[in-house]
């Protein structure tokens, strides 16, 4: 893990396409601005972990356990 210090207004570049800007530091809270191409999805960690868990649960489900889709004959 790379650990660096930044002040409000300073930036970090991740490759050519992603920029992280420190917007504000207030006590123990930091506000970040993230600039990335539209095809790059950005999630808070707790949301990303929930998405991964839901995807893993869906992958383990039997087809018969899934709800019917529109236009299906079941």
pTM for the whole structure: 0.71
**What confidence score (pLDDT) does residue 67 get?**
74
CB 30 within 8 A of CB 22: yes
C-alpha closest to that of 6 among 31, 36, 37: 31
Average pLDDT, stretch 6-14? 97
Q: How far is CA 58 from CA 54, 64, 70, in A?
A: 6, 12, 18
DSSP classification of residue 59: H
Task: Kindly report, residue by residue over 33-71, the tens digit of the pLDDT.
Answer: 999 999 999 999 999 999 999 999 888 877 676 677 777
CB-based contact 12:4 (threshold 8 Å)? yes
């Amino acid at each position: 893990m790379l650990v660096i210090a930044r002040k409000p207004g300073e930036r970090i570049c991740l490759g050519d396409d992603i920029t992280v800007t420190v917007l504000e530091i207030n006590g123990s809270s930091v506000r970040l601005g993230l600039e990335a191409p539209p095809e790059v999805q950005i999630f808070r960690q707790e949301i990303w972990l929930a998405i991964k868990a839901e995807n893993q649960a869906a992958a383990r489900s039997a087809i018969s356990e899934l709800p019917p889709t529109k236009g299906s004959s079941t």
